Amino acid sequence: MYAHQKDNKLRQFLRHKARDIERLLPKKPIDYSRVSDVVPIFDITKMHAMLNEHEKRSNLHRNHQRYINFLGNTAGFLPMVSLPTDILARLEALRLRFPNFSDAIDFYLEQFALAQLAEDAVFSANPLLLSGPAGVGKTAFCHELAKAVEAPFQLIGLSSTTAGFVLGGMSSGWSEGKPGKVVEVLARERRGNPLIVVDELDKVAADKRYDPLGSLYQLLESETAKDFIDEGLEIGTNCAHIVWVGTTNNLTKIPAPILSRFSVIEVASPTVEQMRHVVASIYRKVRETHPWGTRFSTQLPEPVVSKVLESGLAPRLVQKELIAACGKAVLRETGRQTGLVKAGYEVAPDDFNPRGVARPKSKAVVQRENFDANPLRDDLVEPLVDWSVREVHYKDAIAPAHHYLLGCLPKQGAVNVTAAIQAFDRETRCVKTANGVIYQLVGQPGFDDLVEVVWEQWKNANAVINDVDVTHQYCWTH
């Protein structure tokens, strides 16, 4: 995926190694330990033996032939991705674009600083699990990390995975049996230490007899990963140098043995100030990744940035809506009928109108009821932290959807799911619920594992069929 400079010394070594494999008993053995920039990943000798032992029509024969072709003249010895000399500066630049990932960036700064103490300074890091609400940019961050390191990148989504063959391969005894994604990226990219992201670990749902996460028990431990046997190849592959990242929305749904193999970092939704940097980064990416991007102004006008912030959209959705806004800007400037093309364009506030986002006539996004004119006594208001708001739909189709507030009560040291929201005062950040209790929203929305557990129990007890996170409607002041 990423370009690397040719290494003539390495290529000469690999040619010698390939001749050794063909002869099996070389006259002049090469001291492979003297070559530091390659590591043995695939055992080509065993792969050729598999070809000899199985007929050409067999699945196992075809799998090994395909992977030998992938590996070319590498003889199973693959070079390692070295860290760029300016990697620490690249990570700091990444921090400006993903400010809410500062803890993750600090983690990699520490890991890479240690890696640079070695003579070869290869890309290596302990497995990291990024936990946080959907849409905060976990997957996008991983993409950008791979680009900063210049390492091959493989995203393996687990939300629709029903069996372990995605990671560990399917037995060649089955008609569709083939190796899994892990050994495939090693062979195709011809690098021993790619970055592999296992996305949405908490959304795996399958028969326990075919655990999709089963391979991770071995792959996430460097000692056992050295001889990982993919069912599609049936021989060991050295996967110990892979750099792993996992993502999740809910830590409680991940098996404890898997969780213990990761370093866990919580990623919060960006604050308003952080979101300004995120929006600027997303707009810059839109300009850089589309052929028409250079026709637009280098920066978004401040009124547009403010409108993006007010929309409360998660970073995942901002890019899609900014692209739509660019299209509207072109139509606005050129007109639908003229066909004339201008030299340059700039997005205006009216161009940014996200589909499906409520456009309130007043300052309040939620239908608002006035609170009593009398000032509220402080002791009658319950502060709520790590809060979020969910819209709930019930099994009874006649029952209307309601918004519910959930979070932590610091006064009581407990978590709570409130009664249905009756009114919301955006200026005071107070929520009045159907039972008359008033809650003060403290700080930014948050994510707490225990709150999510209580929420799941509450949904089960109240016959909920679907819930939608509508926290963004309560976040920013208009």
pLDDT tens digits along 321-354: 999 999 999 988 776 545 556 678 999 999 998 8
Report the distance separating Cα 132 and Cα 148, nearest Å. Answer: 23
Report the distance separating Cα 372 and Cα 8, nearest Å. Answer: 80
**Which residues make beta-bridge pairs with 39?**
78
Report the distance separating Cα 221 and Cα 219, nearest Å. Answer: 6
**Token reading at 54:** 């199985």
Domain spans in the chain, listed from the N-terminal domain onward:
8-79, 87-266, 273-351, 378-474
Tell me what pLDDT residue 375 has. Answer: 38
Gyration radius of the chain's alpha carbons: 27
Report the distance separating Cα 220 and Cα 260, nearest Å. Answer: 10
Alpha helices in 31-72 (DSSP H): 44-53, 59-71
Measure Cα distances from 254 to 204, 240, 247 in Å. 9, 22, 11
- Helix, strand, coil % over all residues of the chain, rounded to 5: 40, 20, 40
> Are the beta carbons of 44 and 75 closer than 8 angstroms?
yes
Element (H, E) at 139: helix 138-149
Tell me what pLDDT residue 261 has. Answer: 94
Q: Which residues of 266-304 are buried (b: 16+ CB within 10 A; e: fewer)?
A: ebbbbeeebbbbbbebbbebbbeeeeeeebbeeebeeeb
Element (H, E) at 96: helix 87-97
Tell me what pLDDT residue 162 has. Answer: 52
Nearest one of 251, 323, 268 to 136, comparing CA atoms: 268
**Token reading at 443:** 């700080």
**Which residues make beta-bridge pairs with 384?**
441
**Token reading at 35:** 């070559």
Tell me what pLDDT residue 361 has. Answer: 35
- Sign of the Cα torsion 177, 183, 186, 190 reads negative
| pLDDT tens, position by position, 343-397 | 789 999 999 988 654 433 333 233 333 333 333 344 467 888 888 888 887 665 5
> Are the beta carbons of 201 and 213 closer than 8 angstroms?
yes
Helix and strand numbers, DSSP H then E, in the chain: 15, 15
Residues in the chain with pLDDT < 50? Answer: 1-3, 24-28, 30-36, 337, 357-379, 477-478
CB atoms near residue 39 (< 10 Å): 18
Place of tokens 């990932």: 101
CATH superfamily of the domain spanning 87-266:
P-loop containing nucleotide triphosphate hydrolases (3.40.50.300)
DSSP 235: S
pTM of the model: 0.64
Measure Cα distances from 163 to 59, 107, 170, 384 in Å. 20, 32, 9, 41
Beta strand segments in 22-127, E = 38-40, 77-79
Tell me what pLDDT residue 118 has. Answer: 87
**Token reading at 76:** 């199973």
Tell me what pLDDT residue 366 has. Answer: 33
Report the distance separating Cα 145 and Cα 107, nearest Å. Answer: 12
> Are the beta carbons of 267 and 217 closer than 8 angstroms?
no
> Are the beta carbons of 235 and 43 closer than 8 angstroms?
yes
